[in-house]
Structure 1
Amino acid sequence: MKINTLHYITTNPAAAELACQGGVRWVQLRVKNQPYATWKQLALDTQAVARRYGATLLINDNPRLAQEIGADGVHVGAADMPPAEAREMLGAKFIIGGTANTFADVQRLVAAGVDYVGLGPFRFTRTKEKLSPILGLAGYAEILHQCRAAGLTVPIIGIGGIVLADVGALRATGLHGIAVSGSIGQAENPVAAARFFMNELAAGTAV
């Protein structure tokens, strides 16, 4: 299973469309505090965008909805359905990602059978409520070192306030890739911003 190096997190299909025009091929839909019917419609509309571009679609925090619409997978946070329970519900073919802040979190998620780990936050971000302790480059370097020493090979994605200028240094820590939201969605030209991230990730040694 190929886990992309650029994950785009969005709340709506229009933003997903622009990101996909810029080359994004992995979209995570994150919806909060909305009725189920509204969430489902946003998911279906975003799924239509993803299918047009051959992009992978994950639903954040809602394995049942992911199963209902036939999304490609789900991302579960620390306070959401346990990954092992999501796997039991969804089966082997669905992609399941989990959120980590420490090496112990990574170990727990690997044991639960996730396909990738979103590790963060890199720096402060307003995108997420109840932010975990900031990791910074040193935090990533230490956790990635611990993963290598323990023989853990799960793809790890950096997340949290990442901007284009961070990509090179983050890649150097050994991260598989990065997840971004505002750096593309709130850019003056989201299509160009997505393209810049794609080019930057492709520029150096493959991650």
Structure 2
Amino acid sequence: MQISNLHYITTSPEQAERACLGGVRWVQLRVKNTPYLEWKQLALDTQAICRRHGATFILNDNPQLALEIGADGVHLGKEDMPPTEARTLLGPEFIIGGTANTFVDIEGLVAAGVDYIGLGPFRFTTTKEKLSPILGLAGYETLLAQHRAAGFPTPVIGIGGITLADVAPLLAAGLHGVAVSGGITAAADPSVAARQFINSLAAPVSAL
């Protein structure tokens, strides 16, 4: 299973469309405190855009809805359904990602068999209500060194207020890729911003 090195996190199909036009091929829909039918419609509309662009569609928090609509996968936060339960519900083909903030979190997610780990936050971000302790670059370097030393193969994606200038040092620290929301959504031209992230992630990485 190929895990993209750019995960775009969005709250709307319109945003997903602009990002996909810029080349994004991995979209996670993250909505909170939304009535079920509205959530389902947003998910279906965003999924339709992803399918039109050949992008992977990940639904945040809601394995049952992901199964119902046939999403490609689900991303689970620390307070969501445990990954092992989600795997039982969704089966072996579904992509399951999990959120981590510590090495203990990473160990648990690897043991649970997730397909990728979202590690963060890198810095303060307003897109998350209950923010775990900020990691910063030094935090990533420490945790990714532990990840490597343990021989874990699970790809790790950085998340939390990541900008274009952060990509090179984060990749050099050992991340597989980054998850971006505001860096694309809030840009003057989201499609152009998406292409800039894609190009930066494709650049050769210099070791620290």
Which digits, 9 at most, give the CA deviation of each residue in 1:103-132, with x for residues without a partner? 110000000110000000000000101100
Aligned to 2:100: 100
Q: Which runs of 4+ in 1 moved over 3 A?
A: none
Q: Which residue of 1 aligns with 2:177?
A: 177
Amino acid at match of 1:70: G
Q: Which letter does structure 1 place at the counterpart of 2:5?
A: T
Shift of 1:203: 1.3
Q: Deviations over 1:133-154 (max 9, x none)?
A: 0000000000000011111110
Give the TM-score, by structure 2 length: 0.98
8 Å CA contact retained: 2:172, 2:205: no
CA distance in 2, matches of 1:109, 1:137: 21
Provide the alpha-carbon RMSD of the alignment.
Answer: 0.9
- Distance between the aligned counterparts of 1:90 and 1:169, measured in 2? 35
- Would the aligned equivalents of 2:159 and 2:178 in 1 still touch at CA under 8 Å? yes
One-letter code aligned to 2:140: Y
Matches within 5 A, 1:19-30: 19-30=19-30
List per-residue Cα deviations over 1:46-94 (Å, max 9, x = no partner): 0000000000000000000000000000000000000000000000000
Report the counterpart of residue 82 of structure 2 in structure 1: 82
The match for 2:126 is: 126
Paired residue type of 1:31? V
Using the alignment, how far apart are the partners of 2:52 and 2:77 within structure 1?
Answer: 28
1:205 Cα shift?
A: 3.9
Alignment match, 2:3: 3
1:204 positional shift: 1.4
Deviations for 1:6-48, whole angstroms, at most 9, x for unmatched residues?
0000000000000000000000000111100000000000000
Measured in 2, the distance between the counterparts of 1:79 and 1:91 equals 21
Aligned to 1:158: 158
* Residue identity matched to 1:197: F
Determine what percentage of the aligned residue pairs are the same residue.
70
Equivalent AA in structure 1 for residue 182 of structure 2:
G
Q: Which amino acid aligns with 1:84?
A: T
Tell whether 2:109 aligns with 1:109.
yes
Aligned runs of 1:23-102 on 2, under 5 Å? 23-102=23-102
Q: Secondary structure at the match of 2:8?
A: strand
- Alpha-carbon distance in structure 2 between the residues aligned to 1:149 and 1:164: 28
C-alpha contact (below 8 Å) 2:122/2:160 kept by paired residues: yes
